[in-house]
Amino acid sequence: MLNIPLMSNNITRDDVKCLISFLETADRFTNGPKVREFEQAWSRWLGVKHSVFVNSGASANFMTMAGIAQMYGKGEIIVPTITWVSDIASVISAGHKPVFVDADMRNMAMLESQVLSSITDDTKAVFLTHVLGFNGLSQHLVDELARRGILLIEDVCESHGAMFGKKKAGTSGYTSNFSFYYAHHMSTIEGGMICTDDDVFYQMMRMYRSHGMLRENDDENYRDEIQRRYPDLNPEFIFMVPGYNMRSTELNAVIGLNQLERLDGNIQKRRENFRIFMDGLDSTKYFTGFDVEGNSNYAFVVLLKEKDPEFFARLTAVLRRENVEFRRGTAGGGNQLRQPFVRKLYPGYEPADYRNADHIHFYGLYTGNFPSLDKASIQALTKLLREI
Ligand SMILES: Cc1ncc(COP(=O)(O)O)c(C=O)c1O
């Protein structure tokens, strides 16, 4: 048996040691100086001005969409059909209307022509997901959105270190979201980050993270002005926005700081693994037309070339037999339009009309790609796939 799990060793003994030594000396455990240090280190790594560390990637999505509604009003948000559930749920719960577009087979992100043709006077933003480590942006899309005054929001939860030309994914839009869940490129066990160059949005996210509290905003002039405007309120308890408690802890930040040290090295190893994997695929059976420039995949994508349910059934049976862990439908389980909550809220959509998303849904899956995976195992996996 091949025995390949989805993820291995993403919290190392060294991370645990680091955590223990922190616990032995620390006197503050919730959101504090270590969180700030991790945010600053992350901003430097990514190349943005500000980052806000939260307790999950989904929280980053929910806060981002709430912040957009607060600052720019509710409206239409153009979303992918291949993405994670919180990218849709966050749009809905912030009071926006999701407008779905099909996937582009080359990167599984949004089909550019459909994004542009979906823009209306009510469009507030495009919420693009960089799927499973592929860059989902083009210069044309970035330029067109800028020209039309549409905000670009990048979900990079699955694609830390992916490159759009010379820029890291997560630095071309108004704001971006990351996840540090155990299965991703690096982990704080649970965790997420919201990144932006916009000072006002940054302060908004700081407040949203902690119940909407004014005192979380580090703009002193703004705090003074609000306190003067509301003399009847206790300055420690002024709530500016209908916020959440989505804070993380110092413990998670300590792990994040330690993990960040090896992120670039791990991305390199995963890139090399992915190259070996793609080289070994039989392009008559599997889709190999991915745009791999600047990719940073934590998973191997297995996508059938043809719509062949029997072949797909054989494929999953063989992977199960060989104890190769996999997830069907790729990111988020496939076409989001097929999910019960979407069908109920937006019955007007016909999931099958989103042909690429549906192909990925029914004939796609991913297996694990982690730094310690050796070349022989990857080659044994591709041999197995060739022989099905
Ligand atoms: C694209 C995308 N966005 C958001 C999330 C949510 O992140 P988390 O699991 O940290 O809540 C995920 C999944 O893990 C994801 O793949």
Tell me the per-residue pLDDT of 273-320, one tens digit each, with 9 for 90 and over.
999 999 999 999 999 999 999 999 999 999 999 999 999 999 999 999
Q: Residue 104 and residue 107: Cα distance in Å, rounded?
A: 6
Instruction: Tell me if 103 sits within 8 A of 124, measured CB to CB.
Output: no
Find the 185 Cα to ligand 1 centroid distance in Å.
12
| Predicted TM-score of the model (pTM) | 0.97
Q: How confident is the model at residue 135 (pLDDT cuts 50, 70, 90)?
A: very high
Per-residue model confidence as pLDDT tens digits over 260-276: 999 999 999 999 999 99
Residue 183 has pLDDT above 90, yes or no: no
Rounded to an integer, the average pLDDT of 327-340 is: 95
Q: How many residues are there in the chain?
A: 388
Strand partners, 304: 286
Whether 331 is in the pocket of ligand 1, judged by its Cβ within 6 Å, is yes
Burial tier of 384 (Cβ tally within 10 Å: 0-12, 13-18, 19+): middle
CB of residue 203 inside a 6 A radius of ligand 1: no
> Is pLDDT above 90 for 73?
yes
Q: Does position 110 have pLDDT exceeding 90, yes or no?
A: yes
Q: Whose CA is nearest to atom 7 of ligand 1?
A: 57
Q: What is the pLDDT at residue 144?
A: 98
Per-residue pLDDT at 15 = 97
pLDDT, residue 356, reads 98
Return the CATH fold of 263-387. Aspartate Aminotransferase, domain 1 (3.90.1150)
7 neighbors 368 (Cβ within 8 angstroms):
yes
The predicted-structure confidence for 168-181, as pLDDT tens digits, reads as follows: 999 999 999 999 99
| Mutate-to-test residue for ligand 1 from 86, 175, 177, 330, highest number of ligand atoms within 8 A of CB | 86
CB neighbourhood size of 113 (10 A): 12
Residue 234: closest CA among 219, 206, 215? 215
Answer for the pair 253, 53: CB distance below 8 angstroms, yes or no: yes
Instruction: Name the residue among 119, 115, 124, 118 with its Cα closest to residue 66.
Output: 124
For residue 192, report the distance from its CA to the centre of ligand 1, in Å.
Answer: 8
Where do the domains of the chain lie? 13-255, 263-387
Mean pLDDT of 328-351: 96
Tell me if 13-255 shares its fold with 263-387: no
Mutate to test the pocket of ligand 1, among 154, 158, 330 (most ligand atoms within 8 A of CB): 158
Q: What is the pLDDT of residues 34-69, one digit of tens each?
A: 999 999 999 999 999 999 999 999 999 999 999 999
Q: Is 87 in the pocket of ligand 1 (CB under 6 A)?
A: yes
For residue 198, the CA-to-ligand 1 centroid distance in Å is: 23
Predicted local confidence at residue 331, as pLDDT = 83
Domain 13-255, what fold? Aspartate Aminotransferase; domain 2 (3.40.640)
Mean pLDDT score, 80-88: 98
Mean pLDDT estimate for the chain:
97
